[in-house]
Chains A and B, each alone.
Chain A
Amino acid sequence: MGKWIGRIVALAYLMLLLIVPVGIVFFRTFRHGFSPFWDAITTTQAEHAFRVTLEVAIFAVIGNTVFGLIAAMLLARHRFPGRAALNALIDLPLAVSPVVVGLALILVYGRFEPIGRFLDNHGIKVIFSLPGMVLATIFVSLPLLARELVPVLEEIGIEQEQAAWTLGASGLQTFRRITLPAIRWALAYGVVLTLARALGEFGAVAVVSGGLVGKTQTLTLYVQQEFQNFDPIGAYAASFVLAVIAIVVLIIINVLRPKEHS
């Protein structure tokens, strides 16, 4: 009896909070068939938002992949002064509100701050432009990859790497031929997580981008604007695309996770 009550309460909670609301949005997106959906996501503005979102996400993923690999190698393979600090600071972005991330970047790279003015004088516009959006996206997704890699690097140990060095392989060769194949699933997993976070970031980008239509408007900003302009089909259609990306990410993650143990 108690078992049944527990199951019903848990499932009812999940239905009301998660499953039914997502289902309604999917239903409303296609309520009038496929063509309104297709029309909504192929407007010039929507297509531009797609392109901006992808550009920002790709730069952020590249930056954080390089950073995550190097930081994870340092944390897992080296003992050095400042290691504990690095370990703690990597997680810091998770504790920061997206809006605070945006504000923080404005206070350094904004046109009225010393560094921002210097860059502006040299023709580099950061805030209200793509570089600022990339920085904001990097900030919010910074720890994801390193946090996936460190435990895997620690688990595989250094015996094979040492064997390779002993046989005369250089540091880079060892990394490419021994370390990289051993961590490839964790790396793929981390990249997927970072990409998902980058594609879906809203708050930090909302603050630094200015959301200029056709220039710095990402897909999530487009959703907000369409909704507030009383164009629900535009908002639902773009949301549907973002939700499908999220579900694909979930599936990939569920496929990649078990491979780690085999």
Chain B
Amino acid sequence: MTQVEAAPIAYRPTRPPGRSVRRSPSGFGLGVGFVTIYLSLIVLIPLGAVVARSNSQGLSGLWHQITQPDALSSLRLTVAVSALVSVVNAFMGTLIAWTLVRDRFPGQRVIDALIDLPFALPTIVAGLVLLALYGPTSAIHLRLAYTRPAVVIALLFVTLPFVVRSVQPVLMELDQEMEEAAKSLGAGSFTTFRRVVLPNLIPAILAGTALSFARAISEFGSTVLISGNIPNKTEVAAVHIYSQIQSDNVSGAAALSTLLLLIALVVLAAFTFIQRWAIRRG
């Protein structure tokens, strides 16, 4: 395939002398220009407008908006639930990755492929799917819908792949000889895991946890149907922003948006830091 395609180039007569064979600099300039304009019009200027609007009445205005009781309670709920979800993910994600790499059972490849389903499934469908098991028409009479635990389940669903997919490759690369050495020296399997395997996994677990936290605090679609969006109770920050936009309180929406943006950026910076730290550690 490649040979056939490369052939016409190989047999091309050389160009007349004098014409440059360098890639044209104008193409490079055009590329930079296009990328800059595209990013600016779609991402940078709009996000700048959000930050500008949140500051239109100064920092005290921003503070006033985010300390409104409804806003504050949605923010508290979002941060608390996201933290809980991230901790659960750190444990369950590692366990699932372990099961997928070290265990052997029928149907394993299907399960492995299904882990990515929460990323591929539209968030509104995720919400609907969870309502089928945890909603008013629950098949197992587990009615969690419109309560805070429902928010936790929705966020656990959409963040499932992060820790699994960051730990899995590390676990696959891990040399099992060290574990065998530990066992032959008399360590139990739990001690071996804690002293030999876990230290190697920590950076991957932390990185996956950071990503799942960032995703959880900004999540909207999956919580819309299942949480019932009850202000002061089950309304997460993104849903609160949405309801503020609907009721024309754009400044309030912008203030909370800026804060969410800031939290997400800090978490992603932590993620980058963890990755660099992991690379330095080898």
- Residue positions of A touching B, CB distance < 8 A: 2-3, 6-7, 9-11, 13-14, 16-22, 24-25, 28, 63, 66-67, 70-71, 73-74, 78, 80, 82, 86, 89-109, 113, 135, 138-139, 142, 160, 164-174, 177-178, 181-182, 196, 199-203, 206-207, 220-221, 223-224, 227, 235-236, 239, 242-243, 246-247, 249-251, 253-254
**B81 interface residue (CB < 8 Å to A):** no
Q: Which 9 A-B pairs give the minimum distances between C-beta atoms?
A: A200-B122, A97-B218, A104-B46, A246-B120, A107-B49, A203-B220, A95-B264, A202-B221, A24-B132
B99–A7 touching, CB < 8 Å: yes
B233-256 near A? 1/0 per residue, CB < 8 Å: 000011101100100001001100
A99–B261 touching, CB < 8 Å: no
Contacts A168-B14, A171-B24: A10 and B5 contacting too (C-beta < 8 A)? no
B43–A92 touching, CB < 8 Å: yes
State the Cβ distance, B269 to closest chain A Cβ, in Å.
Answer: 10
Interface residues in B78-96 (C-beta closer than 8 Å to A): 92, 95-96
State the Cβ distance, A35 to closest chain B Cβ, in Å.
Answer: 21
CA distance A224 to B92 in the complex (A): 30
B21-39 near A? 1/0 per residue, CB < 8 Å: 1111001100110110011
Q: List 15 A-B contacts (CB under 8 A).
A: A3-B103, A6-B99, A10-B92, A10-B95, A95-B268, A96-B47, A97-B219, A99-B239, A100-B47, A100-B261, A103-B254, A108-B46, A171-B27, A174-B23, A202-B123
CA distance A202 to B22 in the complex (A): 45
Question: Which of these binds chain A: B59-67, B109-117, B165-173, B179-187?
Answer: B109-117
Contacts A17-B156, A207-B245: A246 and B47 contacting too (C-beta < 8 A)? no
Question: Which chain A positions have C-beta within 8 A of B198?
Answer: none
Beta-carbon nearest neighbor of A93 in chain B = B43
B122–A199 touching, CB < 8 Å: yes
Contacts A21-B132, A108-B49: A139 and B120 contacting too (C-beta < 8 A)? no
**B6 interface residue (CB < 8 Å to A):** yes
CA distance A207 to B242 in the complex (A): 7
Contacts A24-B139, A108-B46, A203-B221: A100 and B241 contacting too (C-beta < 8 A)? yes
Instruction: Choose one: A7, A70, A78, A90; the contact of B34 (CB below 8 Å).
Output: A70
CA distance A171 to B195 in the complex (A): 54
State the Cβ distance, B48 to closest chain A Cβ, in Å.
Answer: 8
State the Cβ distance, B98 to closest chain A Cβ, in Å.
Answer: 6
CA distance A102 to B257 in the complex (A): 11
A142–B42 touching, CB < 8 Å: yes
**B44 interface residue (CB < 8 Å to A):** yes
State the Cβ distance, B202 to closest chain A Cβ, in Å.
Answer: 19
Question: Which chain B positions have C-beta within 8 A of A108?
Answer: 45-46, 49
Count B interface residues, CB 8 Å: 89
**B128 interface residue (CB < 8 Å to A):** yes
- Residue positions of B touching A, CB distance < 8 A: 1-2, 5-6, 8-10, 12-15, 21-24, 27-28, 31-32, 34-35, 38-39, 42-47, 49-50, 53, 92, 95-96, 98-99, 103, 105, 111, 113-118, 120-125, 128-130, 132-134, 139, 153, 156-157, 160, 189-190, 214, 217-221, 224-225, 237-239, 241-242, 245, 250, 253-254, 257, 260-261, 264-265, 267-268
B2–A224 touching, CB < 8 Å: no
The dominant DSSP class at the A interface is helix
Known: A101-B46, A102-B245, A224-B124. 12 other contacts (CB 8 A): A10-B92, A11-B111, A17-B157, A24-B132, A67-B34, A99-B238, A108-B46, A166-B21, A177-B6, A203-B220, A223-B122, A246-B122
Interface centre among B8, B46, B50, B260 (most CB of A within 10 A): B46
A177–B47 touching, CB < 8 Å: no
State the Cβ distance, B25 to closest chain A Cβ, in Å.
Answer: 10
CA distance A108 to B1 in the complex (A): 48
CA distance A235 to B124 in the complex (A): 10
B47–A10 touching, CB < 8 Å: no
Beta-carbon nearest neighbor of B260 in chain A = A97
B47–A181 touching, CB < 8 Å: no
Beta-carbon nearest neighbor of A75 in chain B = B35
B129–A224 touching, CB < 8 Å: no
CA distance A169 to B125 in the complex (A): 49
Question: Which chain B positions have C-beta within 8 A of A78?
Answer: 28
CA distance A21 to B46 in the complex (A): 37
A107–B254 touching, CB < 8 Å: yes
Question: Which chain A positions have C-beta within 8 A of B13?
Answer: 168
B6–A103 touching, CB < 8 Å: no
Beta-carbon nearest neighbor of A90 in chain B = B39
B117–A247 touching, CB < 8 Å: yes
CA distance A181 to B28 in the complex (A): 21
State the Cβ distance, A20 to closest chain B Cβ, in Å.
Answer: 6
Question: Which chain A positions have C-beta within 8 A of B9?
Answer: 164, 167, 169, 173, 177-178
B189–A95 touching, CB < 8 Å: no
Instruction: Choose one: A28, A86, A106; the contact of B35 (CB below 8 Å).
Output: A86
Instruction: Choose one: B12, B120, B225; the contact of A249 (CB below 8 Å).
Output: B120
